[in-house]
Amino acid sequence: MSPIADDGLKLSLTDISLNREHTARATPAEIERISPAAWAYLGDAVYELYIRSSYLMPPRRLQAYHELVVGQVRAETQARHLRSISPYLNSTELAIVKRGRNAVSGRSKRADPEIYQQASSLETLVGYLYLTDPERLTEIMALLELETEII
Instruction: With beta carbons less than 8 A apart as the criterion, state whether 81 and 122 touch.
Output: yes
pLDDT recorded at residue 151: 57
Q: Specify whether 112 is catalytic.
A: no
Per-residue pLDDT at 16 exceeds 60: no
Q: How far apart are CA 47 and CA 140, in angstroms?
A: 11
What spatial distance separates the first Cα and last Cα of the chain, rounded to whole Å? 31
Which of the following is catalytic: 6, 15, 44, 112? 44
Q: Tell me the pLDDT tens digit for each residue of 24-64.
A: 568 899 999 999 999 999 999 999 999 999 888 888 898 98
Confidence of residue 110 (pLDDT cuts 50, 70, 90): confident
pTM (predicted TM-score): 0.80
Residue-wise DSSP of 45-67? HHHHHHHHHHT-SS---HHHHHH
Confidence of residue 89 (pLDDT cuts 50, 70, 90): very high
pLDDT recorded at residue 7: 44
pLDDT recorded at residue 149: 67
In degrees rounded to 5, what are phi and psi of residue 21? -55, -40
